[in-house]
Chain A
């Protein structure tokens, strides 16, 4: 890696979140940082304005949990998006996004403890006995471990082992989603959309290197994930509730409300369209040169 060229100097803990590796101001990083901080400010502002409802701590706990998982997904999306859009500089955002996921997780867990009046005996007891909290706890420990080993110094020190360690992000994501699903009472749609996106990213990664640039391949994976999501949703209701899974499936063909699979399809279509446009554009640029 290009950063390892100056063995004499001690590594800074972090490079500035506003600058790129060469020390120049980076618009991309600055915008990303703003977007990372914005949800926290938004939650805080709503809290102050009394708009978080009757149990603001609880609501803030839920919101930070949701943002933790969103940033986790964004972090996982960096490599695929780099490749799809030939946008290699995006890599400089990955650490920021991962750390942001860890920060929101920290806030989420802290708010959970706050909600219990910081009765740590009770909180820790719950974290190791209640199944969906066990999942969350393991995921949290994993995320913290990755965050702490994200400094330049740690990356340099761990060398090759760093990559192996940071592959833990995949099982952590699985645990986080599992935790998310179990917290949902009846409507799992909110969890299904980010889960479907993540599945898409993972399936793309698992595909053979030569097919990764193929838009058709990406589109067929998207279709597969949309179908899996629809079936998974119906299956969940069939297993966990008395709802008729046929009706749940039928809802995917109605337009009274966006079903999870419909939302995913819209997301996929938008991303595919952007990739196609990007490719077309670079093609014309190359042509005109």
Chain B
């Protein structure tokens, strides 16, 4: 059970409009069905029915998610964290992860590679709260009040050289507490990556807590990335390494299922996975299905990053 307290960064009830998001079910259904069968071009008219508020550009409403915050109980008990098991109910097991002390390695194309403890890093970073929508590639979504600091502050702290074009992040791999690592054919440890312009985009965030508390272990304690315009698997958890590199890194899911999940993984309702549609998402805790939006509705911040690139499946899976 969660007791719902209003916190300072939380939006007033009236700001959290939901009526404009209502799905036009019948239409939605046929479109969803058609795209599932693979004839699918999503009817733009339907997808356009939902627009998230742009957010006023000052103060707390800046990243207004336009949807109610998901109950904490869901966000902390429904988790993909394959190191702990291939199902969602891993939160108990994840409690075994030792997070104190925790050291983070920053290396690669940087002025000076360093190893720093999580606590020392936190002393140097400007901690703040961001309420973001989080869209899982499995077509469900949540709205989470994260705590942490902008990723660009970490990049600044790392002082990358001009040769650094990408960042690769690596998750903890501890076979003593992570039974998933015993599957020998998966490319452990979990690795993800970002293109440098993405990493320094205002939205890219480093999560160190949520719901006003320290990060729960199942959600990636003590430190993870949060990239709200990309599918959830990009937002790697429990990080031990940030590497600044010259070439686009290979990522865990790209190596595991290249026809499902790629490096860019930007949210786009138009590009289904080979097995399911991405046109809609189940809003957990709200009991409804809503249309998915390109860039997860954050196009205002990030669409321009990709203006020089070809907008094909490659960019959206």
Contacts and interface: CB of A to CB of B under 8 A. Distances in A.
Interface stretch (A51-59, A201-209, A261-269): A51-59
A186 B256 contact: yes
A182 interface: yes
Contact of B287 (A117, A126, A248, A256): A117
A51 B90 CA distance: 11
Chain A binding site: helix, strand, loop or mixed by DSSP?
A: loop
Nearest to A237: B185
A52 B255 contact: no
* Contact count band on B: 35 or more
Contact of B184 (A117, A182, A251): A251
Interface of A: 51-55, 59, 116-117, 119, 121-122, 125-126, 128-132, 182, 185-187, 237, 240-244, 247-248, 250-251, 254, 256-257
B256 A242 contact: yes
A254 B75 CA distance: 35
B76 interface: yes
Given A117-B287, A129-B36, A257-B184, A55 B88 contact: yes
B68 to A, nearest CB: 16
16 contacts: A53-B89, A54-B73, A54-B77, A54-B79, A117-B288, A121-B25, A126-B33, A128-B33, A132-B275, A237-B185, A241-B256, A241-B258, A241-B260, A243-B255, A250-B184, A256-B184
Interface of B: 25-26, 28-30, 32-34, 36-37, 73-79, 86, 88-89, 91, 138, 179, 182-186, 254-260, 275-276, 284, 287-289
Given A237-B185, A254-B184, A186 B257 contact: yes
Contact of A52 (B26, B89, B138, B186): B89
Given A53-B89, A247-B185, 12 more contacts: A59-B89, A116-B289, A119-B25, A121-B25, A121-B29, A125-B33, A182-B275, A185-B138, A243-B185, A243-B255, A257-B179, A257-B184
